[in-house]
Structure 1
Amino acid sequence: MRSIEYLKLLSKEYPNIASVSSEIINLQAILNLPKATEHFLTDLHGEDEAFDHVIRTASGVLKRKIDDIFGDHLHEEDKKQLGVLIFYPEQKLKELHEKNITTPNWYKITLNRVINICKVISSKYTRSKVRKALPKDFAYIIEELLHLKNTQLNKEGYYNNIINTIIEIGRADDFIIQISYLIQRLAVDKLHIVGDIFDRGNGAHKIIERLIKHHDCDIQWGNHDILWIGAALGHPALVATAVRITLRYANLSILEDSYGINLRPLLTFAMNTYKGDPCEEFMPRVDKNLFNESEKYMIAQMHKAISIIQFKVEEKIMNEYPELHINNIDYLENINYEKGTIKLNNTVYSLTSNNFPTIDPKNPLNLTKEESDVLNNLIKNFTESEKLKSHIYFLINKGSMYLKTNGNLLFHGCIPMNEEGNFEEVEINGRKYKGRALLDKFDVYVRKSYFHKNENNKYLKWLWYLWRGEKSPLFGKNKMSTFERYFIKNKETHKEIKNSYYTLREKEEIALKVLDEFDLDEKGYIINGHTPVKVKKGESPIKANGRLLVIDGGFCRAYQNTTGIAGYTLIFNSYGLVLNSHKKFEGTKKAIIEGQDIISSTNVLKKAERLKVKNTDIGKELIKEVEDLKELLEAYKNGVLKEKEKKFNISKLLNSI
């Protein structure tokens, strides 16, 4: 039996046999409910509109529920329109009003349908959990309707009168809107984002705002998330890099409008410094119609200006912190500025541009006064942006280097390995770390870089390593060939050799070795992002004989030509694992008007006996709690502890009803 002191503490919450028994019964019942649904997404890269659609539709889960519930009772078009109404209730209702479709009879039919869907979706949860999710305006009414049947003896009139009254007093639209969002909320219990919210697309800030409001989500940091965390904390190279990537994709609004980053000093400097420079390699990757030629040229000038600043700052950091072991070439020091060539690995290459007005060939890493002013201004803007601060705090609070959940292992990139399949070591402050210990160490350092701002030189440099270090679990390549891509046409120089993990992960024994390193058994799955799966070239997201899943399918538009699809959603429900592949999302308007669905195919990865709460991590905690309560019950029955009268707690009573 547990120590009597522990049982005495537990007895304060459960002071007698009746209260202990009641809680044991309650927890045992919960343990036998179906496992709730988890969704896994990765590499969102600022595609906020597509992300919003996936969340609203629960990645196709709600469409399938509508099919299951109504089957052949509704025409396909009616089911599609019902789905659109639940996904986009305000917009769809507006359209239906304009077409004069919203008659009292339509409302009555529709209200019954959405209530029916909500009943099914909420059935796997306890009443208490559903109650906490109910919208305040209709909480009592929805709860009544969810637990009534319109054919129930003595209750048919009661049920129908509620429906009729909602319509008569003009509250049907509000009710449909609120219950639709409740359905969306209950369809997915837990959301996992396996890295890279930032960069490429223009809406990372909108994705984070949506995640902040989400009822239960977590994030496994990607290299682009770390980039923005470091930039928000004022790391000069990461500030320059974040601005450079944003300009590369012409996403100026996220800097200026969303985070209040003033680009005017950079623009003025770039226009004066690179006037007449064609800046061809720095032209933004952008849809033709978004900017005119003059605007694109100004972006290209800023792009080149911040890139040169980045290269200077990075090479200085490499010289100042040799302990980082960044395997990189001193590009600016190897340029022949008279001939316009660069020597790399004993080979001389011509540069695409030899216009470097801010570089002193004798001291190529020195920033000019103007460059220093521009960079310092950007650092000040990044570190003082209140909105960015709140978003980075959310990433720190909800994020981690990896996550173990319900037997599965989630991390963004890799566990660094050598060719023999052994975990590679990284030396950090005189000690060597590998495997799980390496990720744990970096997890601590990311948090310390945030919470120990006065000691940033001690920790912040490791964020830069995580962004681009050869043995970084979030990057894992021998180099970052940014300079080569801008200035050298020979594509052989652009190659970045991936860590051995990315080829070894095809083998089941490697996946099992990684699972074992994290104290997980062979039943678990490894879930990765980071490397887009080239489906159109025959590559599969399913690796290691099904033990490892790479779910980066090109959610970001910039990668969709490479992958051939538009992303994946991995779904883990009570029936097993399902991988949904997406087709390109063509906009909210099309989704509402045409009922466009982005789920192109579904792959059932694992189907087994239906999982229950007792099979989950939460279930393990509840089982332990039940064991503790049974010991307390025995203590009361054996006279080890005396029963007490439980104090009346009106708030707890109301919450449990």
Structure 2
Amino acid sequence: MDKVQLHYLEQLSEMYPTIGNASTEIINLQAILNLPKGTEHFLSDVHGEYDAFSHVLKNGSGAVRKKIDDVFGGTLSSEDKSGLATLIYYPREKMELVRKKEKDIDLWYKTTLYRLIEVCKTVSSKYTRSKVRKALPKDYAYVIEELITEKPEVLNKEAYYDSIINTIVELGTAEDFIDALSELIQQLVIDHLHVLGDIYDRGAGPHLIMDRLCSYHSLDIQWGNHDIIWMGAAAGNLACIATVIRNSIRYGNLDVLEEGYGINMLPLATFAMKAYADDPCDRFVFKVAPVGTDNIENDLTKKMHKAIAMIRFKLEGQLIKKWPEYGMNDRLLLEHIDYVKGTIEIEGKTYKMLDTYFPTIDPDDPYRLTDEEEEVMNRLRSSFIHCDKLKTHVKLLLKKGSMYKVYNGNLLFHGCIPFDDYGEFAKVNVYGRLYSGKALFDVLETYVRKAFFSDDPLEKEKGVDIMWYIWTAPYSPLYGRKKMSTFERYFVDDETLKTETKNSYYEYIKKPEYADKVLKEFGLHGSRVHIINGHVPVHRMKGESPVKSNGKVIMIDGGFSKAYRRRTGIAGYTLIYNSYGLTLTAHEPFESPETAVRDERDIVSRREAVENMDKRILVGDTDVGEKMREKISDLKELIGAYRSGEIVERDK
């Protein structure tokens, strides 16, 4: 045995100091390998829609209802099953309604507890007792474990369980137990959550989604471009900060900044009212107006909207000039405005501008912030970088997040693998070196992490700036369009200029040979590997399918965001990967938790199998199983070293 291997086994012996300890762990791991794989849940592009996101987590995209069907089959009516599912999703809210109409509430408690116990037994059966025990709520762990564990030594099982449940009801703790069992079922139904980007922007609750994810039991996140822009803002990038604020105003979500994160918008409001006092700012309206907005508030918001938009265009120009390797000189538009004639030259043509009032722009130096703008941005930057809640959320994005992930034979990412027009991976200049395919993802992720962790000032600066690039650049894997036409939508009346042409990836990936090319680039081979990504909504109304390349590619952005639904015709796709295969779920719009509880309505409108397995997938068939087998091999070597005398057993 070489010295490196011996040193490793000595370290392992710290955890398993005897042959008995190591043997027990091998037996435990071997047993786990033969359990069914846990259910993976895939979500993408939730865009701040907290209520819908929360409901989909609760129902597991139909997984909870399927377990209820599996347990009770034809022994419960469809109405009773719907009622039980709603109770599991919203236990406290449902029980409040039940108390008002049930004549014998104790009987209802007992019946419901029995039903929840049966569901809980089923959903926990694919896990070891140790894993289930760790998921149990602390206050009721012992009793719940007694209720869901088979006890062959008990002769009169019915009387045994009756006595426990009767005592629960008599002590007045039935509702607490129902709540605890419901949450346990939610947790056990989904073993692992994948969020494929764009948690932020558009909807009113991204901070609430992040709060929920901070406490979720097992997850990973693939960054979306809307997440990256918030990360850049948290790192202090002024262009990212201006973009985040502009997006929040545009979609009527200033409350996310002011109340969700405590960012003070007063400096911007004060500046905007002064700088644009005589400007109606009619081009700068809400995309989605918040409820209850009055004329005075609307007038102020439009001025703030224009003020931050102009600041954004200046700051973006500064970054493009600072880093010519970004290759975005075609977006230096402020210098192509004729401020006397009120026209602009774009792509060789001259257009009349729809708004010509630019009191803060110096035509000789159009990208320079005025002293007042600079003061506003410095104060906003201070608010962003010192926001504790935003720090917590970005910490989660860094800890659980990445540009892509390879997991159980699936390649997960948000946007695209940039292709050139010839079907090759596009070569992209990142700070003077060319990268493509997987290497491009890797180097961009490295720079994102440098923004937060590097001790080298220049490398840190590059990392902070690259997040703006990832948000908007033509060959960014998370953006994947030729340009972001925000400027044109404000100022030019030409629809062709507003088109944001998608990277050719989205055409090539429809062909199996190109899907295989991408999968191979990330080390995936075989017939049961897939690309799963979001970013571009699937237009179901036009007959578009989310499944492409003979099932190799699954695009799961179906319009969670309300802003997309009129185009997609649904309210989002989600994907479930369990031991039986892959199932894609389309969702109806979610009205509110109150409606879901009152009407016992779910939002799963259609579930279709993408791929059924010919045999049930076990833990041993997964990435986790591969690591377990490696550990078993190491433990067997450790036992051999104990028996050969190379390592001495120690006291436990």
Same-fold status (TM-score > 0.5)? yes
Counterpart selection for 1:536 from 538, 541, 563: 541
For 1:241-390, list aligned pairs within 5 A: 241-287=243-289, 289-390=291-392
Per mean C-alpha deviation after superposition, the further-off stretch among 135-144 and 378-387 is 378-387
State the match for 1:569 in structure 2. 574
Query: In the alignment, what sits opposite 1:142?
Result: 144
Aligned pair in 2 of structure 1 residues 292, 12: CA closer, same or farther (>3 Å)? closer
- How many angstroms does 1:291 deviate by? 1.3
Cα distance in 2, alignment partners of residues 464 and 9 from structure 1:
44
When the two structures are superposed, what TM-score results if normalisation uses the length of structure 2? 0.96
Alpha-carbon offset, residue 292 of structure 1: 2.2
**Hey, what's the Cα distance between the residues in 2 that align with 1:102 and 1:270?**
62
| SS of alignment partner, residue 624 of structure 1 | helix
Q: What is the percentage of aligned positions where both structures have the same residue?
A: 50
CA-CA distance at 1:101 after TM superposition: 4.7
How is 1:554-633 mapped onto 2 (pairs within 5 angstroms)? 554-608=559-613, 609-633=615-639
Pairing of 1:403-442 with structure 2 (within 5 A): 403-442=405-444
Q: Which residue of 2 aligns with 1:233?
A: 235
Q: Describe the superposition over 1:308-332 as per-residue Cα deviations: whole angstroms up to 9, x where unpaired.
A: 1111111122122212212523221
Cα distance in 1 between the residues matched to 2:553 and 2:22? 43
Q: Confirm or deny that 1:511 pairs with 2:515.
A: yes
Distance 1:229 1:12, change over 3 A: closer
Unaligned runs of 5+ in 2: none
* TM superposition shift of 1:296: 2.0
**Contact 2:18–2:650, Cα closer than 8 Å, also in 1:** yes
Give the distance between the partners of 1:172 and 1:364, measured in 2 at CA.
68
Q: Structure 1's 344 and 99: CA in aligned 2 closer, same or farther, altered over 3 A?
A: same
- State the distance in 2 between where 1:635 and 1:330 align: 67
Q: Is the 2:533–2:555 contact (alpha carbons within 8 Å) kept by the matching residues of 1?
A: yes
Write out per-residue CA displacement over residues 45-73 of structure 1, whole angstroms, 9 at most, x where no aligned residue. Answer: 11111111111111110011112211221
Report the Cα offset of residue 4 of structure 1: 4.6
The superposition leaves residues 535-566 of structure 1 with CA deviations (integer Å, 9 ceiling, x where unpaired) of 11111111111101111001111111111110
Q: Shift of the alpha carbon at 1:8?
A: 4.5
Moved more, 244-253 or 76-85: 76-85
Residues 289 and 18 of structure 1: CA distance in aligned 2, closer, same or farther (over 3 Å)? closer
What residue in structure 2 maps to residue 496 of structure 1? 500
Specify the SS of the correspondent of 1:580.
Answer: strand
Residue 280 (structure 1) shift: 2.3
Query: What does residue 97 of structure 2 align with?
Result: 95
Residue 56 (str. 1) matches residue 62 (str. 2): no
Amino acid at match of 1:126: T
Larger deviation, residues 82-91 vs 457-466 = 457-466
CA contact (8 A) 2:251 2:289 kept: no
Equivalent pair of 1:327/1:479 in contact (CA under 8 Å): no
Deviation at 1:483, TM superposition (A): 0.4
Other structure's SS at 1:358 match: coil
The alpha carbon displacement at 1:19 in A equals 3.4
Q: Is there any run of 5+ residues in structure 1 with no aligned partner, and where?
A: 648-657
Mapping for residues 50-89 of structure 1, pairs under 5 Å: 50-89=52-91
Secondary structure of the equivalent of 1:184? helix
Counterparts in 2 of 1:519 and 1:113: CA distance versus 1, 3 Å: same
**Counterpart residue identity of residue 479, structure 1:** K
1:151 and 1:642 mapped to 2: Cα distance? 42
Question: How far did 1:634 drift?
Answer: 4.3
Contact 1:481 1:496 (C-alpha < 8 Å) held by counterparts: yes
- Structure 1 residue 251: Cα displacement: 0.3
- Range with bigger deviation, 458-467 or 34-43: 458-467
Q: CA separation in 1, counterparts of 2:14 and 2:340?
A: 82
Out of 13-22 and 128-137, give the one that drifted further.
13-22
> Which deviates more from structure 2 when the two are superposed, residues 174-183 or residues 14-23?
14-23
Structure 1 residues 306 and 13: CA distance shift in structure 2, 3 A? closer
> Would the alpha carbon gap of residues 21 and 325 (structure 1) be closer, same or farther in structure 2, given more than 3 Å must change?
same
1:287 and 1:482 mapped to 2: Cα distance? Answer: 18
Are 2:252 and 2:290, in contact at CA under 8 Å, matched by a contact in 1?
A: no
1:469 aligns with 2:473: yes
Deviates more, 1:11-20 or 1:26-35: 11-20
1:392 partner SS: helix
Greater shift, 1-10 or 482-491, is seen at 1-10
In structure 2, C-alpha distance between the alignment counterparts of 1:242 and 1:329, rounded to whole Å: 19
TM-score between both structures, scaled by the size of structure 1:
0.95
C-alpha separation in 2, matches of 1:151 and 1:289: 61
* Structure 2: distance between partners of 1:98 and 1:246: 41
1:330-355 per-residue CA deviation (whole Å, 9 max, x = no partner) reads 22111122222111122111111111
Q: Per-residue CA shift, 1:578-629, capped at 9, x if unaligned?
A: 0001110011110110111111101101111100000001100111122223
Mean Cα deviation higher: 374-383 or 479-488: 374-383
CA 1:535/1:141 → structure 2, altered by over 3 Å: closer, same or farther?
A: same
**Within the alignment, does 1:116 sit opposite 2:118 as a pair?**
yes
**Aligned-pair Cα RMSD in Å:** 1.9
Q: What's the secondary structure of 2:636's corresponding residue?
A: helix
State the Cα distance separating 1:642 from its structure 2 match: 7.3
Are residue 482 (structure 1) and residue 479 (structure 2) matched? Answer: no
State the AA in 2 paired with 1:295.
E
Residues 470 and 159 of structure 1: CA distance in aligned 2, closer, same or farther (over 3 Å): same
Give yes or no for contact 1:511–1:544 (8 Å, CA) kept in 2: yes
Query: What displacement does 1:264 show?
Result: 1.2
- 2:299, 2:632 → 1: CA distance? 67
Count of equivalent residues: 646
Residue 148 of structure 1 contacts residue 155 of structure 1 at CA under 8 Å; is this kept in 2? no
CA separation in 2, counterparts of 1:209 and 1:643? 48
